[in-house]
Amino acid sequence: MLRRHNRIRIKWRNQQKRLTQRWDDWFADPIDLADARELVTDTRQFLADVPAHTSFTNAQLLEIMMAQDFQDLTGQVIKRMMDVIQEIERQLLMVLLENIPEQESRPKRENQSLLNGPQVDTSKAGVVASQDQVDDLLDSLGF
């Protein structure tokens, strides 16, 4: 449909250019009466076709506007649906949060054995048991 409208528009523009050129030529060098009548007849025919062309153009523009309105309405419906979906999601989350079964709180047990630090067997060779031995080891390694 758009191609058809474009072809008609180009054809109409070419007719207008030819008529304008013929009128310019006539004003520059008046022609005989028979040619002038033909020019006037062609011009009148062109002007008679104007309402049909403008009606066709108006119909095309109306169709474009209707398509845009439809697209706009579709976008509005989609936006409303997204709002509804988000509200449903929010409400479902609230229902889930309100109905979470309560878990028994376990008493916090402190493992007393962890408070003593690592167990070091000082009877083995190469085991460091005091800070002085750690310092000596680091010093021998160059730290």
Q: What is the pLDDT of residues 93-111, one digit of tens each?
A: 999 888 888 776 666 666 6
Longest dimension (CA), the chain: 135
Q: How far apart are CA 13 and CA 122, in angstroms?
A: 106
pLDDT of residue 118: 67
Q: Which range is least confidently modeled, 69-78, 119-128, 131-140? A: 119-128
Given this model, what pLDDT does residue 138 score?
Answer: 83
pTM score, whole prediction: 0.42
pLDDT at 56 over 80: yes
Q: Is the per-residue pLDDT at 112 higher than 80?
A: no
Mean pLDDT on 77-102: 90
Residue 116 clears pLDDT 80, i.e. is over it: no
How far apart are alpha carbons 93 and 112 in whole angstroms? 41
Range list of β-strands (E), the chain: none
Average pLDDT over residues 121-143: 78
